[in-house]
Chain A
Amino acid sequence: MDFFASAINLKEVFVQLIAFLIILWVLKTFAWSKILGAMDARRERIRLELEKIEQAKKEVESLRTTYEMHLAQIEDQAREKLQQVIADGKRISRELQDEARQNARSILDKAKSDIELEIDKAKASLQHEIAGLTILATERLLQRKIDAAKDEEIILDIIREIEKQK
């Protein structure tokens, strides 16, 4: 007991008790709760911010998917339009070719008919000339005057027969 009595100062124990209770009250009232509150608030804020970031990430991902989908649609549309333009071009080209071919054919036909007409004209002219020459030659051979119209008719008949025989 002497050891306890010498080692423990009751007054000091009492003052230490009071001192600890005071520091405990001060810290509990003004420090611990506020620091914990601030930490909780920060933790909550960080949690919310992280949630927002996650939400924003999801939105960005969704937007990216939508954008990619739109891009694919646009590419499809562009491809379709391009193919349509190519088809139109081909069709127009084909139409132009047909038209040109038709024009060429009509020009050719016209040229043919013109040529035939000219040939016919030339033939007719040639027949007349031949007839004239033949009459002249016949007159000279026969040394007599024959009716010109009748002679020409006879000669033309002869020529036609010759042509038919050919």
Chain B
Amino acid sequence: MEETLQAAHQIAAHAGASHAAHSGSHELPNITTLLSQLWPDSLFFHFIHQWENIFFCTLIALLICLTALYAARQKSIIPKGIQNVWEFIVEAIEGFVSSILGSHGRKHLPFLGTLFLYILLMDWSGLVPLMKSPTSSWSTTIALALCVMVYVQYTGIREQSFFSYLKHMAGNPSNAFGLVLIPLMLAINIVIEWVAVPLSLSLRLFANISSEDMLLFKFAELNVMFKGIPFLLQLFANLLAIAFSFVQAFVFMLLSTVYISQVLPHEDHGAHEEKELAHSPTTINH
């Protein structure tokens, strides 16, 4: 048994250990890992391997942009192919976002839709052989979370005016007690909205996707060790990863939408459904 385990570790080491040593995680080898191993003296492959997250992000960004531009150029009344897929995606996301933000939904749709698609494809790219999920890196997710945080605060200032935004950050004081609490509320709100929000968003996505990738790597290891016997388990893990990746991208978009809805002027949240959804993020956050 120990000999088998040693053999498995050796194979795993050949497959992805060098990359694991680089990134500090256990993931399946990707194309940049293999190229840098095949041509260890090539500076180009070494550079790509070093910036593999950026490399895969660029591929995904190109894929999204090219298909979106192609779909946008199509003028067919009866959509088909890529145009149909894009219109389905746009309609679905618009419906969801508008159900929370109401009439403001369409204004924030490009940001939220792009965020969702970008994260979803980055999550799923880890399931494609020789590719990697850039969202399994905290650097990627913290960058996206910072974008969300800046966008939310900018939206708050733009929609409420700067004074109302400051009042909101100070806890909306309405009496002397509220005025006394301004420093405390200001500190709490700054910590929550500027630090906790990006941290929670980025850590949730990063932890989920990196653990999914690690799980897939471990199942691959088991398959090598036991000559494909646990293949069905790996297949099941892949299916789970597809579903969970979608859920993670959706949750990221949902929370971003809710953060935006919280900074919108309150009279815009008239609908009962919107009120309910506006309260739901608190539960999710906790």
Contact = CB atoms under 8 A, between A and B. Distances in A.
Interface of A: 6-10, 12-17, 19-24, 26-28, 30-36, 38-39, 42, 45
A36 B139 contact: no
B274 interface: no
Given A17-B147, A19-B58, A35-B72, A9 B139 contact: yes
A16 B53 contact: yes
A144 B159 CA distance: 168
A12 B114 contact: no
Interface string B48-88: 00010110011001001100110111110100000000110
Given A17-B143, A27-B110, A28-B114, A35 B54 contact: no
B139 A28 contact: no
Interface of B: 24, 51, 53-54, 57-58, 61, 64-65, 68-69, 71-75, 77, 86-87, 90-91, 94, 106, 109-111, 113-115, 118, 134, 137-140, 142-144, 146-147
Given A12-B54, A32-B113, A26 B139 contact: no
Nearest to A33: B110
10 contacts: A8-B142, A12-B51, A16-B54, A19-B57, A20-B144, A23-B114, A27-B114, A33-B110, A35-B71, A39-B87
B51 to A, nearest CB: 7
Contacts of B65: 23, 26-27, 31
Contacts of A34: 72-73
Contacts of A33: 110
B90 to A, nearest CB: 5
Nearest to B67: A31
A33 to B, nearest CB: 8
Nearest to A36: B90
B106 A36 contact: yes
A35 B113 CA distance: 12
Contacts of A30: 68-69, 72
Contacts of A24: 110-111, 114
Contacts of A38: 72, 74-75, 87
B137 A12 contact: yes
A103 to B, nearest CB: 85
Contacts of B61: 19, 22-23
A47 to B, nearest CB: 14
Shortest 8 CB-CB distances between A and B: which pairs?
A: A16-B143, A31-B68, A34-B72, A12-B139, A28-B110, A32-B110, A23-B61, A7-B138
Given A13-B142, A36-B90, A20 B118 contact: yes
A139 to B, nearest CB: 137
A90 B272 CA distance: 82
B53 A12 contact: yes
Contact of A42 (B77, B115, B146): B77
A13 B58 contact: no
Contacts of A31: 65, 68-69, 71-72, 86
B144 A16 contact: yes
Contacts of B57: 16, 19
A27 B53 contact: no
Contacts of A17: 143, 146-147
A96 B173 CA distance: 114
Given A16-B54, A16-B140, A32-B113, A27 B87 contact: no
A15 B54 contact: yes
Nearest to B62: A23
B87 A20 contact: no
Given A22-B61, A27-B114, A32-B113, A6 B139 contact: no
Nearest to B210: A7
Contacts of A7: 24, 138-139
A59 B90 CA distance: 37
B111 to A, nearest CB: 6
A53 B64 CA distance: 39
